[in-house]
Amino acid sequence: DKGDLPLDIDPKLSWALSNRAVFPVDLNGAPERLIARVPGIGVRNAKRLVELRQMRAIRYQDLIRLRCSIKTLQPFVVVDGGYSAWREQALRALAAGWSPEQLCWCEKRREAGAASQQMGLDYEMSSPVSSISLWEPQGCEPNAEFAVRISKGLSALLQDAALCRTPERWALLYRVLWRWHHGERSVASVADEDGARLYEMAKAVRKEKHDMMAYVRFRHCGQGKRPEYWAWFEPEHEVLEWIADYFSRRMGSTSWCIATPQRVALWDGENLQLRDAPDNVDELRSGPSDDQVEALWLRYYRSIFNPARLNETALQQSMPVRFWKGLPEASLIPAMVSEARNGARRVGQSGLVARMPGKSVAVTADSAQPIRGALSALERCRRCGLWENATQAVPGEGPTTARMMLLGEQPGDHEDLAGRVFVGPAGQVLDQALQRAGLDRDQLYAAFACQSIPG
């Protein structure tokens, strides 16, 4: 809307886009020089229109008869009042047959309508408003019998998306409504391009509502002062009126004020008022400074901070940095994070653990582990590298005075884990062979040539 425009744009259209405050222009009341400023209407046609309106009111058909450029004559639809105002304008534009490509939606005020003003579109149009506010405002005749039926889900999406602070919101909402009215039910699906954008805007608004409920911090204004509590918040979308209705129900008769850069919500315990923010918002942003409860809150917040469990990524995901300017505890976060980085993370719980009293655990003699004896020469052997990969050494077994000795090559997995010779599958085969030979294994001495399992 601002800045340089492409050179191939019609100069008259360029001027109109840069001076939207001049519009809408009422062809039945505006002076000739202003009518000539409307894109698509030349100086000659402006003079003819002034002569024609002396006999009767000018209508849209008169512009067609004068061969005005309908493509250039793109109507401005001014939304003044948020969703409810857009609804009235959209219904009148639909009744007149204006396609989305013929309309240029803009808004007079920056805040959308309150939650109490939002309503469904599934009922007949109310009494006609004063003007459709187009470049040619008399072009659309009101039709009180015109009605649009939409689903409850689409109505909720339109109302939420109307609070999304994006320049194209009103045009998108009308395009969705136009397509639905002409039988394109797929426009309400997330698989549709317009539907996906509508869902994205509604999701952003719902998230902003949740964040504002979580991150609004009220300050006490002092004993006997009105309002009793004050809060500053900078929402990305126009959710102030919705959140004000929420806090009016939650806080009962307690008076409060929630200020934003655009608007201010005041609750006196009975009535909710919404006003435009004053020009000097710096005083509004600073708020009261004598809140004694805030000092207790900051002390509590610092006491529950555990540097040993700091997760900066999770902190910024759950509490985005853009909300910090309105949070009293945010002034403590950088210092606490810095201390955690510089060593407090390692010793954050050491003092608490050191002050914890000890506790004796009763252990019976049967469950107590036996004291292990001193290591043998075999267990201490480091003459080769076989010990590095072994669980333990596997010594020989049997009487030292045995008349027969069995010598294996090396321990297997079972022998390595048990620390005994021939206890695996090879040991079972050995026992069967000794039984057939009539020999008792307890009278033999068995050992491995390599007493550690190779790596």
Instruction: For 281-339, write each residue's pLDDT tens digit.
Output: 676 676 666 667 788 888 888 888 888 778 888 888 888 888 888 788 888 888 888 88
Q: How confident is the model over 192-216, as pLDDT tens digits?
A: 999 999 999 999 999 999 988 888 8
Helices (H), strands (E): how many in the chain? 17, 9
- Contacts of 215 by beta carbon, 8 Å cutoff, 6+ apart: 233, 319, 323, 326, 327
Q: What are 439's two structure tokens?
A: 């020999």
Q: Which pLDDT score, from 0 to 100, does residue 1 have?
A: 41
Q: Which helix (H) or strand (E) holds 173?
A: helix 169-181
Q: Would you state the structure tokens that stand for residue 20, as one six-digit string?
A: 């939207």
CATH of 216-290, one of 3.30.43, 1.20.950, 3.40.50, 3.30.1300: 3.30.1300
What pLDDT sits at residue 190?
Answer: 92
Can you say whether the dihedral through the CA atoms of 385, 386, 391, 394 is positive or negative? negative
Superfamily name with CATH number, domain 378-454: Uracil-DNA glycosylase-like domain (3.40.470.10)
CA torsion through residues 437, 442, 446, 452, sign:
positive
What amino acid occupies position 24? P
175-205 residues labelled b (16+ CB within 10 A) or e (exposed)? bbbbbbbeeeeebbeeebebbebbbebbebb
Spatial separation of the C-alpha atoms in residues 75 and 88, rounded to whole Å: 16
Reported in sequence order, the residue ranges of 159-212 that DSSP labels E, i.e. its strands, are none
Write down the residue that tokens 């999701």 correspond to. 203
Q: pLDDT band for 129, please (50, 70, 90 cuts).
A: very low
Distance (Å) of CA 220 to CA 226, 294, 367: 10, 8, 62
- Residue 190, CB-side half-sphere exposure with 13 Å CA sphere: 6
pLDDT value of residue 345: 57
pLDDT, the chain, mean: 79
Percent of the chain with pLDDT over 70: 78
Average pLDDT for 177-187: 92
| Six token digits for residue 153 | 């889900």
Q: What is the model's pLDDT at position 309? A: 78
- Cis omega (within 30 of 0) on the bond before 320? no
Tokens 């300017």 sit on residue: 325
Q: What is the distance between the terminal CA atoms of the chain, rounded to a whole angstrom? A: 76
**Token pair for residue 17?**
């886009």
**In the predicted structure, residue 83 carries a pLDDT above the cut 80:** yes
Residue 10: partners with Cβ closer than 8 Å, 6 or more residues away: 39, 72
DSSP 386: G
Cα 284 from Cα 277, distance rounded (Å): 9
Give the span between the Cα atoms of 23 and 27, in whole angstroms. 11
pTM: 0.55
Bridge partners of 407? 447
Q: Is the pLDDT of residue 241 over 70?
A: yes
Chain center to CA of 312: 17
Closest CA to 377 of 455, 453, 448, 451: 451
**What average pLDDT does the segment 88-93 reach?**
86
- Mean pLDDT over 99-125 rounds to 51
Q: How many CB atoms lie within 10 A of CB 327?
A: 16
Structure tokens at 36: 């000539």
Domain boundaries, the chain: 11-78, 216-290, 301-355, 378-454
DSSP-assigned beta bridge partners for residue 220: 229
Asked if residue 391 lies in contact with residue 417, where contact means CB atoms within 8 angstroms, the answer is yes
Least confident of 251-260, 311-320, 343-352, 434-443: 343-352
Bridge pairing between strands 272-276 and 229-232: unpaired
Please state, in angstroms and as integers, the Cα–Cα distance from residue 199 to each residue in 111, 183, 184, 196, 355, following that order.
20, 19, 17, 5, 54
Question: Does 279 have pLDDT greater than 80?
Answer: no
Please, what's the largest Cα pairwise distance for the chain? 140
Number of Cβ within 10 Å of residue 96's Cβ equals: 18
Give the distance from CA 21 to its chain's centroid: 35
Classified as helix, coil or strand, 211 is: helix
Give the pLDDT of residue 122. Answer: 33
